[in-house]
């Protein structure tokens, strides 16, 4: 349990909850606590899917600029690696992940949302990468994950201008995947994650790893990654259970063990 970030688990769904008033600014401590919570979620057999949530008011409004303003080049050379590693720990959770976005997801907050597999936003949410307005660029994955998600031209527009994106535009360009009333954001995220609480955990892991690894290589290499992951699943208990259940009872009725 961190001071500002904690992990709770209910019915197989883990929630990584940011709670640093007023805007969940991602100072060094919050960054380190995000990494610790993500690593705990990744390692726990009780967690089958993960929701990242900042509360009813705001997801995360970005880095702690007051803390960052006094950092020198030498300071940031040392800190930029741990900053990226903190958010990449969320991206590396080998389970389905979803961001429940309320209020603002800006700068590092948007980058944190980009680390999840799926994003559900409130109707009044605002997202963006406004670092350019401070004379810098995104430094926790924004130039890379955003471009891969929405395409380079849209990513350049958002990063060059630093403008805020309303939820409807975010949905249109693929920055978020679903928009719901603000009061329903967390429940909608838990419902999405809950689909996987009793799923074939190793197959879900293999699917995520295949997709993520394949995005960074050529097609033939990606196909080889997929082939190896596919074949490896034939050594799992869940594969045996799933195929036997299909033959005997039809699709969607298997009781997986996660092994």
User: 62, 103, 107, 108: which one is catalytic?
Assistant: 108
Collapsing DSSP states into helix, strand and coil, what is residue 5? Answer: strand
Question: 63 an active-site residue?
Answer: yes
User: 25, 63, 188, 254: which one is catalytic?
Assistant: 63
User: 105, 131, 189, 197: which one is catalytic?
Assistant: 131
Phi, psi of 192 (to 5 degrees): -65, -50
Q: How many whole angstroms from its chain centre is CA 185? A: 15
Q: How many CB atoms lie within 10 A of CB 172?
A: 14
Q: How far apart are the first and last CA of the chain?
A: 28
Phi, psi of 10 (to 5 degrees): -145, 120
From CA 158, how far away is CA 153, in angstroms rounded?
A: 9
From CA 231, how far away is CA 246, in angstroms rounded?
A: 19
Question: 108 an active-site residue?
Answer: yes
User: 2, 99, 111, 121: which one is catalytic?
Assistant: 111
From CA 45, how far away is CA 209, in angstroms rounded?
A: 18
DSSP for 10-60, please give it: ETTEEEEEE--TTT--B-HHHHHHHHHHHHHHHH-TT-SEEEEE--SS-SB
Question: 33 an active-site residue?
Answer: no
Known catalytic residues? 63, 108, 111, 131
């Amino acid at each position: 349990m961190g001071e500002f970030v904690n992990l709770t688990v209910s019915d197989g769904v883990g929630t990584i909850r940011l709670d640093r008033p007023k805007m969940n600014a991602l100072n060094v401590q919050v960054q380190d606590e995000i990494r610790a919570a993500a690593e705990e979620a990744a390692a726990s057999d009780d967690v089958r899917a993960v929701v990242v949530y900042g509360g009813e008011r705001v997801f995360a409004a970005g880095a702690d600029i007051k803390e960052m303003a006094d950092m020198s080049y030498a300071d940031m050379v040392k800190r930029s690696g741990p900053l990226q590693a903190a958010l990449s720990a969320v991206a590396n959770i080998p389970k389905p992940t979803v961001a429940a976005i309320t209020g603002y997801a800006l700068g590092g907050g948007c980058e944190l949302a980009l680390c999840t597999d799926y994003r559900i936003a409130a109707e009044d949410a605002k997202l963006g990468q406004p670092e350019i307005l401070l004379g810098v660029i995104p430094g926790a994955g924004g130039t890379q994950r955003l471009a891969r998600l929405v395409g380079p031209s849209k990513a350049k527009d958002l990063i060059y201008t630093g403008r805020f994106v309303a939820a409807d535009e975010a949905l249109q360009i693929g920055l978020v995947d679903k928009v719901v009333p603000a009061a329903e954001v967390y429940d909608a995220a838990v419902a999405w994650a809950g689909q996987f609480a009793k799923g074939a955990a190793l197959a879900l892991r293999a699917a995520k790893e295949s997709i993520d690894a394949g995005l960074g290589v050529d097609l033939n290499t990606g196909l080889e990654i997929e082939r190896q992951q596919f074949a490896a699943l034939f050594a799992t208990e869940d594969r045996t259970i799933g195929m036997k259940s299909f033959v005997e009872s039809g699709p969607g009725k298997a009781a997986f063990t996660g092994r």
